[in-house]
Amino acid sequence: MSPGPDPSLTGLRFVVTAGGTREPIDPVRFIGNRSSGKMGNELAAAAIRHGAEVTLVTAGVLPAAQPGLTVWVVATADDMYAAVRSTLEGARVLIMAAAVADWHPSRVAAHKLKKGASTLTLVLVPTVDILSALRDDEIAAGVFKVGFAAETDNVIDNARAKLDAKHLDLVIANDVSREDIGMGSDHNEVTVIGRNGLQQHIPRAPKSVVADSIVRIIARSLR
């Protein structure tokens, strides 16, 4: 039998991001990734079960409507950054579960690019790094920031580097080289790493169970 809701989160507001951004090439094509948004949706639902109010900024599958949930739909990394900044005021926790694209085409064709015999070369430039951009932003002052580190190798070391570089409070290390967990799957397995020395492994389980464990760790960290 799982424990009941954590009363310490009652009345707090969370901003949660979800899904993979889509960076357009032309009006019908985009650069994207395999993120479905399921993990972010489950984190939002878990926070609500514990009494928080949630603003979900998503580029993924929309969750069912429920009390306590406000949804902002976005497409690109720039869209998501603008939406996060617009919704952070008054928030206590930011969970960046979205798989934000690292690059976008330097120019977007106004019309559909036609297939031909020649090759197509795309010039890619970096997208905004949302957590890095928020690091010294006054809008994020006092917000408890949680990032995800989706890695395929040196998972824990790379996650710790992200925790330090982006001045996060917690980072969720996520091995996306496995097909039975992570992007697109209904299950996940993660390690939660904190600035205070915390390192807690959450074994493979449905994403709803993993999300509940993460939210409980956030609640304990806030106390």
User: Would you name the residues annotated as active-site residues?
Assistant: 33
Q: Give the C-alpha separation, 173 to 163, whole Å.
A: 10
83: DSSP letter: H
| Cα–Cα distance measured from residue 193 to residue 31, given in angstroms and rounded to the nearest whole number | 30
The runs of H, that is alpha helices, within the chain are 38-49, 77-87, 130-134, 155-165, 207-222
Dist. CA 182–CA 36, nearest whole Å: 10
Q: Are 66 and 41 in contact (CB under 8 A)?
A: no
What phi, psi does 147 have (nearest 5°)?
A: -115, 160
* N residues, the chain: 223
* CB contact at 8 A, 190 and 174: yes
* Residue from 143, 140, 142, 150 nearest 171 by CA: 150
Cβ burial, residue 209 (10 Å; 0-12/13-18/19+): middle
